[in-house]
Structure 1
Amino acid sequence: MRAWIRSFSQELVRLTGRYPALYTSTRWWRICTGNSPEFAAKHPLWLADWSNRAGPLPGGWRTRTIWQYAGKGRLPGDQDLFNGTMSQLRKYARG
Structure 2
Amino acid sequence: MVRAVFRGAVDISSTEEFRAALDAAFDRTAPEAELVVDLTPLELLAASGLRELVRLHHRCAAAGVRLTVLVRPGSIVARVIDIAAARLPRQPRVDGPRHP
Q: Which TM class, normalised by the smaller chain length?
A: 0.3 to 0.5
Higher relative contact order (CA 8 A, sep 6+): 2
Q: Which has the higher helix share?
A: 2
Larger Cα-atom Rg: 1
Q: Which has the higher strand share?
A: 2
TM normalised by structure 1 equals 0.46
